[in-house]
Structure 1
Amino acid sequence: MPHGEYFCEPTSLAATVGELADRARAMIAGGQRRLLGIPGSPGAGKSTLSEVLVAALGKQAVLVGMDGFHLANDELLRLGRMDRKGAPDTFDADGYVALLKRLRHQQSPVIHAPVFDRVLEEPIGGAVPVHRDVPLVVTEGNYLLMGSGGWEDVRPALDEVWFLDVPHRVREDRLIGRHQAFGKTFAQAREWTHEVDLRNADLVEAMRSRADVLVDVLDDLSAEDSTW
């Protein structure tokens, strides 16, 4: 069942994707809907790991990303937050929590979740169908373990949380490469990484103790998605 206010210290786990898939299958062995959270700092590879894991589980799992709850760019401009897009208050945390609760107790045949389009840099509503008979919902994002600002209700809604543990330097290089891949110059990518992404990473790293497991993925997933 979802966790309450008490959290044990996380254990460390070095595992292959296959071993992580086996752990996920064990979560749904009873046949009930389960929610698995995969948080980590920007550039850790959360999206890639989640996509590969869901692919390994086939029809048993679906991926619902936290990034689908980014506020629209027009709203960020109105609020004066566009220059730090990706910070905790640039998301609809309440909407994300509401969706997790709907998914937990899903009554309708299908629920449609939003997705974040990295080319448009905008969320797109109703893009991910979640069917009632899918036993595992995997959700990934930076702030799944945050304890304030509306995010505090996310952690109790999840059955298990795997914090993706990746060294700082690796994350920094990935972030710069990702921003360049989506049109920024090296200088722009480096500035955004240091002024926005890595500041957000400090918040995320401070929350890692609320996870169940600190995961070190043994497979090289870089070939799966160069944007991470």
Structure 2
Amino acid sequence: MRSLDPAAARERAAELATRPERAVLGITGAPAAGKSTYAERLVAELIADGLKVASLPMDGYHLAQSALDTLGLASVKGAPHTFDAAGFVALLRRLHERDGTVWAPRFDRELEDSIAASIEIGPEIDLIVTEGNYLLLDQEPWATGRQLLDEVWYIDLPEDVRHARLEARHRRFGRSSEEAHDRTYGSDERNAELIASTRPSADAVLHLS
């Protein structure tokens, strides 16, 4: 397993973006590890370099809040079985076919729900950077999705920093301090432990400051 700093990661991503076939790069890590922020920055840097790159967060495949309520899964939102993983895998297959424009869903944190057909990925895109919690999970259909990712990088972050970020995020989106703490060290922590167990399967570990 390689160890990457941001400079080496940018260089490797540029290599993926300039190969003959379209590539899909996965960025994974525990909740609040910085996946979204890093993926957005990487894509912006590569676009500034003149490369044809797009971002595709996995969170768009959250089950709708109404579906979670109906299924009794609202309290464990964010666990692997609260995503349409098969839908995400189907999208990855379509992306590799590179046949026309693909429209993907986007997760809106203000609404705490997904919005369909919000992200446009045209046929000219050479590299898609997708980020999410379960890209390395060894259970179906996630495991099939892993086969459709050219590389997956795992973001390492000190746990105290990650916990502080996660609590702050929950408060920012309307949870009380008590609710934010309980969520961070409850269902989110169980998910984080599961994600951490997938770290050895990553192609590289990315160390961010």
TM-score range relative to shorter protein: over 0.9
- SS of corresponding position for 1:71: coil
Q: Distance in 2 between matches of 1:149 and 1:133?
A: 30
Q: Deviations over 1:87-119 (max 9, x none)?
A: 0000000000000010011211x1101110000
SS in 1 for 2:170: helix
5 Å-filtered alignment, 1:57-72, equals: 57-58=46-47, 60-72=52-64
Secondary structure of 2:186's aligned partner: helix
Structure 1 residue 21: deviation in Å? 1.9
Number of aligned residues:
206
Deviation of the 1:32 alpha carbon: 2.0
1: CA distance, partners of 2:15 / 2:66? 43
Rounded to whole Å, the distance in 2 between the matches of 1:122 and 1:30 is 35
TM-score normalised by structure 2 residue count: 0.95
Which residue is equivalent to 1:32? Answer: 21
2:141 and 2:147 map into 1 onto residues whose CA distance is 12
Q: Work out whether residues 89 and 149 of structure 1, in 8 Å CA contact, stay in contact via their aligned partners in 2.
A: no
1:56 lines up with 2:45 in the alignment: yes
Separation in 1, partners of 2:125, 2:170: 34
Q: Structure 1 stretch 57-66 or stretch 33-42: which is displaced more?
A: 57-66
| Residue pairs, 1:1-228, within 5 angstroms | 10-13=1-4, 15-16=5-6, 18-58=7-47, 60-108=52-100, 110-218=101-209
Further displaced range: 24-33 or 205-214: 24-33
- TM-score (norm. length: structure 1): 0.88
DSSP 3-state at the match of 1:154: helix
8 Å CA contact retained: 1:41, 1:205: yes
* SS of 2:33 mapped into structure 1: coil
Contact 1:41/1:201 (<8 A) preserved: yes
What's the CA shift for 1:153?
0.8
1:76, 1:149 → 2: CA distance? 20
* CA shift digits 1:45-81 (9 cap, x unpaired): 0000000001111152111111000000111011110
How far is 1:150 from its partner?
1.8
SS in 2 for 1:180: helix
Code of the aligned partner of 2:20: G
Name the Cα RMSD after superposition: 1.1
The Cα of 1:162 is off from its aligned counterpart by 0.7
Verify the 8 A CA contact 1:46 1:164 in the aligned structure 2. yes
Give the share of equivalent positions with the same residue, in percent.
Answer: 43
Deviates more, 1:99-108 or 1:22-31: 22-31
Partner SS state of residue 30, structure 1: coil
In structure 2, stretches of 5+ residues that fail to align are: none
Distance 2:156 2:96 in 1: 27
Distance in 1 (alpha carbons) for counterparts of 2:155 and 2:145: 17
Q: What displacement does 1:19 show?
A: 3.5
User: What one-letter code is carried by the residue in structure 1 that aligns with 2:40?
Assistant: E
